[in-house]
Amino acid sequence: MPTIDYRDVKTNSSVDVLNAIRNSASQNYKDHVPLATPDANTIRSIGNVIMDFPEIQNEFLSALINRIADVKVTNKYYTNPMNVFKKGKLNFGEVIEDIFIDLAHAKNYSPERAETTVFQREFPDVKSAFYVLNYQKYYKQTVQPYDLENAFLNINGVSSFIEKIVTTMFTSMEQDEFLTFKYMLAYRIINGLMRPFEIPAVTKENMNDIVEAIQTVSDDMTFMKPDYNLVGVNNFTLKDDQYLIVSAKFNAKRNVEVLASAFNMDKVEFLGHIKLIDSFGSLDIKRLNELFKGDENYHEFSQSEMEALDSVPCVLVDKEFFQIYDKLTEMRAIENPEGLYRNMTLHAWRIYAISPFANNALFVSGTPTITRVTVSPATATLSKGGKIQLSANVESTNFAPSGLRWISSKSEKATVTSTGIVTVSADAVAGDEIQIMAVSVYDNKKFGTATITVA
């Protein structure tokens, strides 16, 4: 397959495209296809050669689709506005391991104690998360013979041909990336997986108060603490690594100079750290349903959930919050000799994930509140050594975090894991009653209970 030097594609001119392909083509191609000049007769003569020789036609289309088209379309047409969060291409394998090492513990200096402890082992507090290849889509367009013939009828025909067969696929791919990005963010918000902070209702009049609240969180996030990430590791985020994602409604009322000062940046610098989306609740449910059809982890948002999301003005995230990797972006073409057409296919394989270690903050106009926690089943009878999986439901307002701590009232009689699995010990006595509590991490006064009776 020929490799095109992207520097050869200087403009959207068909002449530039044709000559870029020729410069990196095989000798056979160069022997038959002359250099293009900016006149219609030359373009038509090149078209005649390409249409008359199948092997040259295949080389032309392969180079056009795989090397030229994606560069031109990416430069000219719609791209995912959140591309800043993409981490690049995953060249090997299909899994990313994200490792975080939490703080080590300080010890009191003691020469006497050192005599007995010097060779004792103390392992670092290592936590890891795995991000797997979870998105494999493709887009398809058919090229008829007359499509290729028409590409050589005028001076701009090749560029128009690229637009016709490729623009739709690349634009669709980029739009679906943006939609998936918004879905991930919406899912975290709805399920109480971001740290919420209350701000006044957004108006131009109280924008200074809102910015003050955002600045307080932004400043605090630069210090090492466990308050801003899902798993509670000690982390920090420098100002230059903080990104404010804002809705269009909030963006219409914001004061750039005031916000920039909150981040200790000048206006131009800060604009690179503010990312605009239409709305946190503006989700194309029909297209999302098609994208994630058959995915058991997919959640279809209700109308009420989208209305709640629409009220969110902005979120603040660490640049490492989104873990998005490209595994494959590739165009392929296949000819159907019976139908005399070619199918062009654009493959897009991605890893989409959110880091549990990265800092984040959600700003809402209302007080985040845990209203109730319930545990199911509320009662159960287990024999010694028996196990049961308990589940908890957290009801909240204004996206209060849904995190829970599981506690056993008699840990020597029954243990409970962080995911709610209860195990009755062999030392338990028949008739013992053990209370298992699911306590809100956000508000420890809110908890639900289940009673386990030992048989």
Is residue 11 within a helix (H) or strand (E), and if so which, with residue range? none
Nearest by Cα to 46 from 29, 25, 63? 29
Q: Which amino acid is at 75?
A: N
Cα three-residue angle 111-113-119, rounded to 5 degrees: 100
Residue 169 has a pLDDT of 85
Peptide bond into 34 cis (omega under 30): no
Tell me: the pLDDT tens digits for 75-112? 455 778 898 999 988 888 888 888 888 888 888 899 98
Gap between the Cα atoms of 361 and 196, Å rounded: 6
Question: How many other CB atoms sit within 10 Å of the CB of residue 367?
Answer: 10
CA 165/CA 140 separation, integer angstroms: 9
Percent of the chain whose predicted confidence (pLDDT) is above 70: 95
Task: State which H helix or E strand residue 7 sits in.
Answer: none
Measured between alpha carbons, how far is residue 185 from residues 8, 194, 309 in Å? 39, 9, 10
pTM to 2 decimal places = 0.81
Distances in Å between the Cα of 399 and the Cα atoms of 11, 35, 121, 282 are 49, 62, 42, 17
Which residue type sits at 336?
Answer: N
Band (73; pLDDT cuts 50, 70, 90): very low
Query: Taking Cα atoms as reference points, which of 12, 365, 325 lies closest to residue 163?
Result: 12
Integer CA distances (angstroms), 341 to 57, 147, 188, 244, in order:
13, 10, 45, 47
pLDDT at 276 over 60: yes
Query: How confident is the model at residue 6, as a pLDDT?
Result: 33
State the Cα–Cα distance between residues 412 and 133, nearest whole angstrom: 42
